[in-house]
Structure 1
Amino acid sequence: MTEYIIDLALLTVLIIGITAINGVLTNGIGEKVFGGKGGSDIYNRDLNVKTGWKQVGGKKKK
């Protein structure tokens, strides 16, 4: 019975690990192929919109 539990645990770890690695690799390939050259274009536009905004929240510096 313990061999069955060990086999089941190993199979579970392998399935979850292979799935996670597959997701990361597919995401990386997709970003390289379909990401284009303007990958940070949205980030730069967001920074341009936020220029001049007041900082809110947090603790005041003394």
Structure 2
Amino acid sequence: MGSYIIDLAILTVLVIGITATMGVIANGFGEKIGGKAGSTIVNRDLSVKAGWKSVGGKKKK
């Protein structure tokens, strides 16, 4: 039973580690390949929202 728990723990660490590593690698590729397009989309979004009233939340000082 103890070896089963150790195997399960090792497998869990490997799966989480590989998933996290793949996420970092994919993010790196995304920033190198499509980094400029992302900022264009954000700028377009901000220009569309310009002049909108804030709704909800606390008032900004």
TM-score by length of 1: 0.70
Q: 1:60 to 1:28 in 2, by over 3 A?
A: closer
Give me the CA root mean square deviation. 2.1
Greater Rg by CA: 1
In structure 2, the partner of 1:21 is: 21
Q: Whose helix proportion is higher, 1 or 2?
A: 2
Q: Could you list the runs of 5+ residues in structure 1 that have no partner in the other structure? A: none
Unaligned runs of 5+ in 2: none
Q: How many residues align?
A: 60
Instruction: Measure the CA separation in 2 of the matches of 1:4 and 1:20.
Output: 24
After the TM superposition, which parts of structure 1 deviate over 2 Å for at least 4 consecutive aligned residues?
36-39, 58-61
State the Cα distance separating 1:60 from its structure 2 match. Answer: 4.5
